[in-house]
């Protein structure tokens, strides 16, 4: 197996076949899909494993940021990992992904993250689960939101640049991931002819908030692929817009936005659910953890962690499982080893070494990432054995690490 950068002229045909074998967007189907794919790849990095003279695995990544409290940290999004059928379970995907992640670490990225196909595979590279995200299906007529005061404007594929521009001012929150939207949004917009957009403009004609959705027949369920808004007022107007379509559309499915509970805005939620269960338009709330992240640079991540509840110092004895997957020549060997960690009001930090006066925490980079982002509590990580530390230290961490829910949201 040879690991090398993707070369579009040489590898595109093989990569189209890999994606087809994975059941991913069929790039053969239309020229527009292929153009969108090329745009998407060119916004980031792409590497392949060559096997029997052809590309049989592709790993892509895109650069961006992740919000840690109020700081934007540099973020590598691992945006696709795919292997053709003949090369499955030969170890190439894991090693190629480790190589791509280690390169980002060498380049100084603070955090890497991805969406998972299932739990376990990326854990071996040091990634840890982020919290559940919720998908809700609602009957629009049950939404308790203000009447729509103005008609929305219609958006089509031709408005893609305006929609992309709108994402630059989107609502910010802990855990929000931003990567250059150009490639992604174009790729998604080209995926279906049943999609439509609706939105609202500022006085200067720029989009202030909008949604993009797939219709699935005259009565739905309509699937919202994204809602972009700057503030909760904009979100509520989008929900009013959804309600406005309720005379025709029986249900809308969407990812619950950060920091809200849609049930607050639903009339008789349990009655509606009970009556609709089992039907095509059943209302529901489902939750899954589909995103994982890992720290690449301890100093950068910890310095963004400002904790008003006080100062705390400890030794960290850390395992980084990515080490076993790294190529021999990789200068970056992961984050395993001994660290002295300081969590503070002003700025926290981590330096290599140990201090005999301080208590020791033993853990993995997977669990530490979850801990410092607030994806899992110290006491829970201790109870499950993911961190091992004296009870006093765990209790103190529980007092200090009072963080908002980190929601990585849609990756663009
Ligand atoms: C996911 C995918 C890339 C893995 O490819 P692969 O060739 O099997 O990967 P590797 O050979 O590097 O790794 C296989 C190892 O991972 C293990 N593995 C796979 N899924 C796992 C999981 N969820 N938990 C733990 N281990 C897992 C396998 O058991 C195997 O272990 P072994 O080396 O001890 O035998 C491949 O199945 C694929 O292309 N799937 C379709 C596209 C897709 O879903 N991509 C992921 C997007 S997030």
Which of 15, 25, 117, 123, when mutated, tests ligand 1's pocket best, judged by the most ligand atoms within 8 Å of its CB? 117
- 227 and 98 part of one domain: no
| C-beta of 49 in contact with ligand 1 (< 6 A) | no
CATH of the domain at 118: 3.40.630.30
- 146 and 279 part of one domain: yes
Q: Could you tell me which residues come within 8 angstroms of residue 271 by beta carbon, excluding any fewer than 6 positions away?
A: none
Last residue of a domain, one of 101, 130, 159: 130
Q: What span, in angstroms and rounded, lies between the C-alpha atoms of 81 and 306?
A: 34
Give the neighbor-by-neighbor strand order of the sheet with 349-352. 349-352, 337-343, 312-319, 360-364, 387-388
Q: What span, in angstroms and rounded, lies between the C-alpha atoms of 109 and 95?
A: 19
Last residue of a domain, one of 78, 97, 130: 130
Residue nearest to atom 15 of ligand 1 (CA): 89
Structural domain contains residue 406: no
Q: Could you tell me which residues come within 8 angstroms of residue 107 by beta carbon, excluding any fewer than 6 positions away?
A: none
- Chain segment 66-107, per-residue pLDDT in tens: 999 999 999 999 999 999 999 999 999 999 999 999 999 999
Predicted TM-score (pTM) of this structure: 0.95
- 246 and 326 part of one domain: no
- Chain segment 100-136, per-residue pLDDT in tens: 999 999 999 999 999 999 999 999 999 999 999 999 9
Which of 62, 93, 99, 324, when mutated, tests ligand 1's pocket best, judged by the most ligand atoms within 8 Å of its CB? 93
- Chain segment 251-267, per-residue pLDDT in tens: 999 999 999 999 999 99
Last residue of a domain, one of 130, 158, 179: 130
Neighbours of 281 (CB within 10 A): 17
Lowest mean pLDDT among 21-30, 142-151, 274-283, 395-404: 21-30
Q: How many domains does the chain have?
A: 3
Structural domain contains residue 80: yes
- 145 and 121 part of one domain: no
Structural domain contains residue 276: yes
- Report residue 128 as tokens: 């840890």
Closest ligand 1 atom, residue 119 Cα: 23
What is the domain range of residue 92? 2-130
């Amino acid at each position: 197996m040879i690991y090398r950068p993707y070369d579009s002229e040489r590898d595109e045909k093989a990569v189209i076949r890999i994606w087809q074998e994975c059941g991913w967007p069929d790039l053969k189907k239309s020229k527009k899909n292929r153009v969108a794919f090329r745009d998407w790849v060119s916004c980031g990095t792409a590497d392949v494993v060559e096997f029997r003279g052809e590309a049989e695995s592709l790993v892509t990544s895109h650069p961006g940021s992740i919000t840690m409290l109020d700081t934007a940290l540099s973020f590598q999004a691992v945006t696709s990992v795919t292997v053709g059928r003949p090369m499955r379970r030969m170890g190439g995907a894991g090693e190629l992904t480790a190589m791509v992640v280690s390169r980002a670490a060498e380049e100084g990225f603070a955090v890497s993250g991805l969406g998972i196909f299932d739990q376990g595979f990326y854990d071996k590279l040091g990634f840890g689960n982020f919290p559940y995200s919720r998908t809700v299906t609602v009957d629009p007529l049950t939404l308790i939101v203000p009447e729509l005061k103005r008609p929305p404007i219609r958006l089509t594929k031709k408005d893609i640049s305006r929609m992309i521009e709108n994402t630059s001012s989107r609502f910010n929150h802990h855990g929000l991931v931003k990567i250059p939207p150009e490639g992604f949004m174009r790729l998604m917009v080209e995926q279906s002819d049943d999609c439509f957009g609706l939105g609202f403009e500022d006085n200067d004609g720029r989009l202030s908030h909008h949604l993009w959705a797939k219709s699935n027949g005259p009565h739905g369920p309509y699937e919202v692929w994204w809602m972009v808004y700057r503030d909760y007022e904009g979100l509520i107007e989008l929900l009013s817009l959804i309600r406005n379509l309720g005379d025709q559309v029986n249900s809308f499915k969407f990812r619950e936005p950060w920091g809200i509970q849609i049930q607050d805005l639903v009339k008789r939620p349990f009655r509606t659910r009970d009556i609709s269960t089992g039907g095509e338009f059943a209302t529901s709330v489902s939750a899954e953890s589909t995103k994982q992240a890992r720290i690449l640079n301890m100093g950068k991540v910890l310095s963004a962690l400002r904790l008003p509840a006080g100062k705390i110092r400890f030794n960290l004895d850390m395992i980084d499982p990515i080490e076993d997957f790294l190529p021999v020549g990789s200068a970056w060997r992961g984050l395993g080893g001994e660290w002295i960690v300081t969590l503070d009001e002003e700025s926290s930090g981590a330096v290599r070494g140990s201090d005999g006066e301080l208590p020791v925490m033993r853990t993995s980079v997977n669990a530490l990432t979850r801990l410092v982002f607030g994806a899992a509590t110290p006491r829970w990580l201790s109870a499950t054995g993911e961190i091992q530390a004296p009870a006093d230290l765990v209790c103190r961490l529980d007092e200090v690490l009072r963080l908002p829910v980190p929601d990585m949201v849609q990756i663009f």
